[in-house]
Amino acid sequence: YKIDEPIKVRKNGTVVLGLGLATLQPVTGKAAMVVTGTGVRLASFMVQAGEPYGGKFSETLLQIGDPGSRKGTAADPTIVSNVFARVGGPSLKEQAKTMVTIHQDHVIGTNLWLWRADHNNAGMRQGLGPNNAKCDHAIEINGHDVSFYGLFVEHTLKQLILWNGERGRLHFLQSELAYDVSKDWDYP
């Protein structure tokens, strides 16, 4: 689904369930989804970066919580399960700075796969470089007491994970550095 404006999940306790692994692609340089409610359940969908729009690309594809607010409780955490993010793949022109950004406290994630393309649809590495499928980070975590059970992060151009929050827990991590990085590239 190509979307012009982010899906905004404001109501506490909302359940967002993608059927058939729905793919959400922002086409105006914004996020695909912004969650500001707490105790939200997100499951079974993919966020796919879009091509730059008017020279602007998405800062993040999925944002949980407002920057600086960090609201959220241990008694009713937001849960993210079986959610996937992709930059590139169908097109190497797609970009996002960060795939998932978490500002909320007490978020629990299970089985998140955040992947930047290191090849095109034909499995070829041709055409890759610093201007194709650009993505700096797979995930940025600013909330406290965030836990992950199964986090898969692959091929971003800078740090795979930026974990700024306190008391976080990571119970399983799979990561791969980008195959197409060169020390000679000048990253923005």
Q: Could you give the residue numbers annotated as active site?
A: 176
Pairing of strands 137-141, 169-170: unpaired
177-185 CB contacts, 8 Å cutoff, 24+ apart: 178/116, 178/118, 179/118, 179/125, 179/155, 180/118, 180/125, 180/128, 180/129, 180/155, 181/157, 182/130, 185/129, 185/130
